[in-house]
Structure 1
Amino acid sequence: MPRRPRREGRPRVARRGPALAARPPLAVPHASRLRSGPVSRRPAAVGEVLTSVDWGRWSVILLKPDCVRRGLVDTVLERITAAVSVSVRGQMDVTVTDWQIHVHYWDLLVGADWFDCSVPACLRKMYVGRQVAVALAHGPAGTPRLVRDLLGHFDPARATKGTLRGDLGTDSLAAAQAEGRLVENLVHTSDDAAATCRDFGTWYGAKRHHLLTP
Structure 2
Amino acid sequence: MTTLLHYSGGERDLKSYPRLFCFYPYKGCRISRCSVYFLFYILTTKYSSMNHKQERVVIIIKPDGVKRGLTGEILRRLEQRGLKIVALRLFQPTRQQMDDHYPKDEKWIARLGEKTLNTYEKYGYDAQNELGTTEKLEIGKMVRGWLIDYMTSIPLVKAIIEGSHAVDAMRKLAGNTMPALAEMGTIRGDFSVDSAAIANREKRAVHNIIHVSETPEEAAHEIEHWFAPEEIFEYKRSDEE
TM-score by length of structure 2 reads: 0.59
Post-superposition shift, 1:208? Answer: 2.3
Q: Name the counterpart of 2:102.
A: 105
Q: Is the 8 A contact 1:102 1:123 kept in 2?
A: no
Q: Is the 8 A contact 1:59 1:136 kept in 2?
A: yes
Summarize deviations over 1:50-84 as a string: whole Å, max 9, x none. Answer: xxxxx9521111101111111111111111111x2
- Count of residue pairs brought into register by the alignment: 156
Q: Give the alignment of 1:25-64 within 5 angstroms.
A: 56-64=54-62
Q: Name the counterpart of 2:202.
A: 179
Distance 1:190 1:179, change over 3 A: same
Residue 89 of structure 1 aligns to a residue in which SS? strand
CA distance, structure 2, for counterparts of residue 187 and residue 94 of structure 1 = 15
Is 1:86 aligned to residue 83 of structure 2? yes
CA distance, structure 1, for counterparts of residue 85 and residue 150 of structure 2 = 26
Q: Is the 8 A contact 2:95 2:148 kept in 1?
A: yes
Q: Is the 8 A contact 1:147 1:189 kept in 2?
A: yes
Q: Name the counterpart of 1:130.
A: 154
Q: Give % identity.
A: 27
RMSD across aligned positions (CA)? 2.2
Q: 2:171 aligns with which of 145, 148, 166?
A: 148
Distance 1:81 1:195, change over 3 A: same
Q: Which moved more, 1:63-72 or 1:165-174?
A: 165-174
Residue 91 of structure 1 aligns to a residue in which SS? strand
Segments ≥4 residues shifted beyond 3 Å: 107-113
Q: Name the counterpart of 1:211.
A: 232
Residue 174 of structure 2 aligns to a residue in which SS? coil
Q: Name the counterpart of 1:160.
A: 183
Summarize deviations over 1:11-54 as a string: whole Å, max 9, x none. Answer: xxxxxxxxxxxxxxxxxxxxxxxxxxxxxxxxxxxxxxxxxxxx
Post-superposition shift, 1:212? Answer: 4.9
CA distance, structure 1, for counterparts of residue 193 and residue 226 of structure 2 = 26
Which structure has the highest helix share of the two?
Answer: 2
Post-superposition shift, 1:169? Answer: 1.2
- Give unmatched runs, 5+ long, in structure 2: 1-52, 118-138, 236-241
Q: Is the 8 A contact 1:102 1:109 kept in 2?
A: no
Is 1:189 aligned to residue 189 of structure 2? no
Distance 1:56 1:69, change over 3 A: same
CA distance, structure 2, for counterparts of residue 110 and residue 199 of structure 1 = 22
* Residue identity in the other structure for 1:156: P
Residue 135 of structure 1 aligns to a residue in which SS? strand
- Give unmatched runs, 5+ long, in structure 1: 1-54
Q: Name the counterpart of 2:92.
A: 95
CA distance, structure 1, for counterparts of residue 194 and residue 144 of structure 2 = 21
* Residue identity in the other structure for 2:102: Y
